[in-house]
Structure 1
Amino acid sequence: MITAEKNMDPNDIKDWLIPIASFAGIISTSAGVWLALKEYRLKLRAEQRLAESTRAETDIRLFTHFTDILEVATGRKRDPVYSKEVAETLLEKLKIEPLDANFDYRALREKIATSALLHSWVGTSSSDAAFASITTLALRHNVLIPSAIQALESFKDWKPELAEKYLTLLRNARPATGNREVD
């Protein structure tokens, strides 16, 4: 029994309890930090996916508006026939039967627009402003530079001096690396 009393000395227990408690504290703190970093990485990935999705939606809206401006730059407004329903009514009135379910209504719309007796035209000032807008948007958003250059190239027949003026600006500003957004 004497040996049992010697093993149960409170000082010995105290000497072991402090390092064990410290070790347990370090382990639990490390586990907490690891879990917090893991959660932070997951949140960061989710934010990156959301940012990419938002950027894609913004790019789609930007390209849509950009295309609308291109239309003004050509000096014409949209064609009067837009919807499939209107085209179907026109086909019915003209007694034309679509060949199959994959009938190309877009081609029909283009044919109607090119053979129309009346066209909607925009003014010269609107057209000139559209050239400047195309260039400004492209300079602000590098992703639009190739599209703007292509459009202005095709506008050389329409307004050669103005197209060349803005083409020069865009070619001089063309980024050396990729399509990065400029803010």
Structure 2
Amino acid sequence: MDKIMEQVREFILHFLAKEADCWSKSHLNDLDAFNQTVRELYGMAIDELDEGLGIFEEDSLTEKENPIEYVPRHLYKLSTYQNKNYGDIWVAYTSIQNPTDKPVENIISEGFIIAQIEKELKIIGTMSTYLNRSTMAVMGWKASIYNPSDLDIKKLGKFILTERYSEPSNYDNFSLNEYLKDS
């Protein structure tokens, strides 16, 4: 594993842990700690993603009777592309939020797109799988509406390299193919 790929891997694992921490703290009655954790999460992304990470600062919290301790998403693979607007970018293919313990029991659900912005790694976009409404079959990827307009998930750039970490389930007839694809 080359040095930058290791840095990107460490960054995304830290980001996924921070995301899980946000969701865990949303079940507790500590508003300041929750909002601070959300700010830290958004600090790892570009400003344009605004509300695109799915969790937001709150004015109040209601403590849940049985709070959930979220675990980070599974990281299945990390792919590098040469992008015309951002230079090197990386796509981290992950599971759903709060997955089961075994990566092989989960499917690929989201992708986080990472780039160096002013020499700092940042999440610059997200993508998620989309389903056919009548068959519920996974049809491919859709971009977040919060992604920058110059980031096209259908044209990420020239594929460079993929590192695979753990194999997902294939009960959706999509995840394993996506995992094995060199892109």
Under TM normalisation by the shorter chain, which class is it?
under 0.3
Comparing both structures, which one devotes a greater share of its residues to strand? 2
TM-score (normalised: structure 1): 0.25
Comparing both structures, which one devotes a greater share of its residues to helix? 1
Q: Which is higher, the Rg of structure 1 or of structure 2?
A: 1
TM-score (normalised: structure 2): 0.25
